[in-house]
Amino acid sequence: MSHVAKKIHKSVKKFGDLLRQLREEKGWTQEDLGAELGTDRAYVSQLERGAKNPSLLSMVKLADVLQVEVTFAGVKLT
């Protein structure tokens, strides 16, 4: 695995861990979050395990549902 691929894998895993934490802080199940997003529990599970790399659109939807901000280089995207 290349250096860049390792960094991406680490970032996707870190994102999934944070997503799980935010979901649990709301007291939601994966099913609850999936319903809010208009998707299923399996997609949420894949994101949380780092098995799926979310698109920017997905990240913005997640941020809206979870009432958090998405930023890039200090600039608010949501």
Residue 72 has a pLDDT of 87
The answer to whether the Cα torsion of 24, 13, 60, 40 is positive or negative is negative
Question: Which CA distances in Å does 32 have to 17, 36, 56, 59, 70?
Answer: 17, 6, 21, 17, 21
Give the chain's domains with CATH numbers. Answer: 3-76 (1.10.260.40)
Q: Under 8 Å CB-to-CB from 60, ≥6 apart: which residues?
A: 70, 77, 78
Mean pLDDT in runs of 10 for the chain (78 residues)?
90 96 98 96 97 93 95 86
